[in-house]
Structure 1
């Protein structure tokens, strides 16, 4: 009897373990959905607060450098916060200016669009194409409809300005906490070493992501601006600035930055110039952002293109427009809290990291 019970125990335990695992998965999925729904309800607060946190994390090494040079810790924190605030204001003002210039320019191309519309219909008729379908396609790029979209974007920019109030308040309080942050992290490391390690990985990844994205965004913007200026495309400086700002949107930022100058080139210079703009932007984007930039970004930040794209869709749906800007940092935070904090789950890095060779042991930089 005892032998029968002993022999039956392993067989009975396996379904029990499977049931426990299934329940854990169901609870985890349900908890994730509840968390995402809750985040959606407070998106207007979460987005600006997380943006402010990202900016302070990125600028924190400047604070530590100033302290090492003898600057009082509180004064260093204030200087860093003011610098971050100035950079943020400059980017918002630049975005509003670029969109405003685009709105003003597109109103001047009504006649050019009508000529293009007639030429396309005439060419379609020569080859016996469906002129109604082609006319509807060409009509979708009517400057009036584009102007409406640009005006809506400009209205959205005013909403972005309103969110600056939350970001500024967050920066003020985070600056007050900055002088004691190093001591807090040491205390955390002594009590919860794995959590402190994961937070260090997150901070290093966020810092590298923003710095590298900014540097290569500037490089691409300068090259785009030079190419557009040589071609004689109107408002080359505006499109260069727009290219720099949209570079912060992963995956689709390149397309968003390409559409306005390509349309302006089409209306101002003809279809050949528009095609050339598309080719130049595509080549620069592929060479700089797909070949060179990943080598500098580092594998501690990199995730696969699929994970990056899914992150963009997910976080945009959860926190709205700010999700396009914060998609990868939010993904890095989730990765740190769920995967990097527990050595047993780091195998997931092999599936999501851009280079799985270094996925098992994440490191700080």
Structure 2
């Protein structure tokens, strides 16, 4: 008598329970997991530099030092720009209290003329310039928090850079005995690099155009909002909206509703045209994730790891897919649901 197979519903329930427990454990140590994943992604991003130096027979210390220096310079440059710009914003915002009060008075007058004064007054009471100033201070504290964790990220980058040549040799040696897992991890690294490259190029294009538009519209701190637009470009689906909110609110304070509408139009034209029509043609199948999976991954990883999880949502999902789906030859249909592509069938003889 053959053993009964485990019911599929029970298998799915166990998988779901294991996923929930795993995510809860990751969330409990998010201050460690976040920097580790960021260091891993950055190490993968500069691996072509390491490979190029290796092919040129560069000394071992140079193979480690050059990619590490590229990453550290990029991180420090971005943190420096954010720190200076946020300090400027913290000084600048309190000066717009008079404009804010005028906007409140205009809104109350309009509400009174349309018979909805009580509702509008109740909503406006939740806003005041002090809260905007507190928001600016909160941004500055967040940036300083990144600086404080930068040492851990740099140490992790150094360790991973030292281990990268050894890991490459281990992967090459293991490809004969464990072809599925090595292929899956190699594909993960390739897709992560391509995703970061394409996202960075088009993020820089969008950020530069946004900065020009904000300069033309006389919105304060355009460089800050350009850097924010570049960073939020890595957040799938909703990143552009997150990057739009601060300059739109500042345009409202400095130039009124007309200026805010113009900022919204400029951002929508630039970001929708570039990210919706041009970028997908270059990105192609680099990600290999369906739209639904991409959006769900954003929600899940942002809940587990916070803002860093939102930035790393795509690489984290690609890593999860590589470990649990692509490494299993029998899970091709599970991969099809994740990627939204029907797997090719072998031709019948």
Task: Please tell me the TM-score bracket, short chain as reference.
Answer: over 0.9
Instruction: Tell whether 2:54 aligns with 1:64.
Output: no
CA 360–331 in structure 1, closer or farther in 2 if over 3 Å, else same: farther
- Aligned match of 1:86 in 44, 60, 73? 73
Partner in structure 1 of residue 9 of structure 2: 22
Cα shift readout 1:9-60 (whole Å, capped 9, x = no counterpart): 7xx97xx33x443332232222212211221122111110110010010100
- Aligned match of 2:94 in 90, 107, 110? 107
Cα shift readout 1:133-154 (whole Å, capped 9, x = no counterpart): 2134345453321221221222
Gaps in structure 2 of 5+ consecutive residues: none
Q: Post-superposition shift, 1:349?
A: 3.2
Partner in structure 2 of residue 169 of structure 1: 155
Q: Post-superposition shift, 1:351?
A: 2.5
Instruction: Tell whether 2:113 aligns with 1:142.
Output: no
Cα distance in 2, alignment partners of residues 286 and 349 from structure 1:
29
Q: Pairwise CA RMSD of aligned residues?
A: 2.0
Cα distance in 2, alignment partners of residues 235 and 211 from structure 1:
27
Q: Post-superposition shift, 1:329?
A: 0.8
Q: Post-superposition shift, 1:196?
A: 0.2
Paired residues for 1:170-185 under 5 Å: 170-185=156-171
Gaps in structure 1 of 5+ consecutive residues: 1-8
- Aligned match of 1:193 in 163, 166, 179? 179
Partner in structure 1 of residue 306 of structure 2: 320
Secondary structure of residue in 1 paired with 2:46:
helix
CA 315–223 in structure 1, closer or farther in 2 if over 3 Å, else same: same
Cα shift readout 1:277-305 (whole Å, capped 9, x = no counterpart): 01111121111112211221221314233
2:85 touches 2:221 (CA, 8 Å); kept in 1?
A: no
Cα distance in 1, alignment partners of residues 127 and 18 from structure 2:
44
Secondary structure of residue in 2 paired with 1:233:
coil
Partner in structure 1 of residue 212 of structure 2: 226
- Aligned match of 1:285 in 262, 271, 287? 271
Secondary structure of residue in 2 paired with 1:190:
coil
1:95 touches 1:245 (CA, 8 Å); kept in 2?
A: no
Instruction: Tell whether 2:284 aligns with 1:298.
Output: yes
Paired residues for 1:205-216 under 5 Å: 205-216=191-202
Q: Post-superposition shift, 1:320?
A: 2.5
1:350 touches 1:360 (CA, 8 Å); kept in 2?
A: no
Q: Post-superposition shift, 1:360?
A: 5.3
**Greater C-alpha radius of gyration:** 1
Instruction: Tell whether 2:34 aligns with 1:51.
Output: no
Secondary structure of residue in 2 paired with 1:100:
helix
Cα distance in 1, alignment partners of residues 38 and 77 from structure 2:
15
Secondary structure of residue in 1 paired with 2:312:
helix
Paired residues for 1:230-309 under 5 Å: 230-309=216-295
Instruction: Please say which of residues 256-265 and 328-337 is displaced more in the overlay.
Output: 256-265
Q: Post-superposition shift, 1:248?
A: 2.2
Paired residues for 1:154-165 under 5 Å: 154-165=140-151
CA 50–244 in structure 1, closer or farther in 2 if over 3 Å, else same: same
Cα distance in 1, alignment partners of residues 321 and 286 from structure 2:
11
Secondary structure of residue in 2 paired with 1:71:
coil
Cα distance in 2, alignment partners of residues 82 and 108 from structure 1:
40
Cα shift readout 1:183-238 (whole Å, capped 9, x = no counterpart): 11111212200000000111011111111111111000110111111122222222
Cα distance in 1, alignment partners of residues 215 and 171 from structure 2:
49
1:117 touches 1:139 (CA, 8 Å); kept in 2?
A: no
1:346 touches 1:360 (CA, 8 Å); kept in 2?
A: no
**How high is the TM-score relative to the length of structure 2?**
0.92
- Aligned match of 2:319 in 319, 333, 343? 333
Cα distance in 2, alignment partners of residues 42 and 236 from structure 1:
36
Secondary structure of residue in 2 paired with 1:109:
helix
Cα distance in 1, alignment partners of residues 13 and 222 from structure 2:
53
Cα distance in 2, alignment partners of residues 154 and 104 from structure 1:
11
Instruction: Tell whether 2:334 aligns with 1:356.
Output: no
